[in-house]
């Protein structure tokens, strides 16, 4: 088991902390491609931290295709349209094409 560290915007951090977000969306880049089920992730935002366990990884070529494979509500969004409009601020279509994407299914670990 490995522990990974990731930063989050406060909005998404709070959803994970409050157990309302159980899928984290990221590029499948070099840093994320080493994540495995049962690893832990330490999310940080504005001086707070929350620890989660990786339950599963859902891979896709891009976020549009990933939306077909996950419940976008578990990722903190009301619809696929909302998710895709927000995600483009973080990740370009070129980045998605280069790396692919991942939905990291997580569960919070109580400390």
Q: What is the mean predicted confidence (pLDDT) over 83-109? A: 96
Confidence band, pLDDT 50/70/90 cuts, at residue 110: confident
Q: Please, what is the Cα angle at 51 between 45 and 53, to 5 degrees?
A: 135
- Decide: helix, strand or coil at residue 91: coil
The predicted-structure confidence for 30-87, as pLDDT tens digits, reads as follows 999 999 999 999 999 999 999 999 999 999 999 999 999 999 999 999 999 999 999 9
Confidence band, pLDDT 50/70/90 cuts, at residue 1: confident
pLDDT of residue 97: 96
pLDDT of residue 62: 97
In this prediction the pTM is 0.94
Structure tokens at 85: 């409009």
**Which is more confident, 93 or 110?**
93
Domains and CATH numbers, the chain: 3-108 (2.30.130.30)
pLDDT of residue 111: 58
Helix%, strand%, coil% for the chain, nearest 5? 35, 35, 30
pLDDT of residue 74: 97
pLDDT of residue 77: 94
């Amino acid at each position: 088991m490995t522990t990974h560290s990731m930063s989050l915007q406060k909005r998404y951090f709070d959803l994970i902390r409050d157990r309302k977000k159980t899928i984290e969306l990221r590029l499948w880049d070099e840093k994320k491609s080493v994540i495995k089920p049962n690893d832990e992730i330490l999310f940080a935002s504005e001086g707070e931290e929350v620890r989660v366990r990786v339950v599963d990884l859902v891979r896709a070529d891009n976020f549009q295709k990933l939306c077909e494979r996950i419940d976008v509500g578990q990722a903190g969004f009301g619809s696929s349209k909302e998710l895709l409009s927000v995600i483009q601020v973080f990740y370009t279509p070129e980045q998605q094409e280069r790396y692919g994407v991942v939905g990291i299914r997580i569960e919070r670990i109580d400390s």
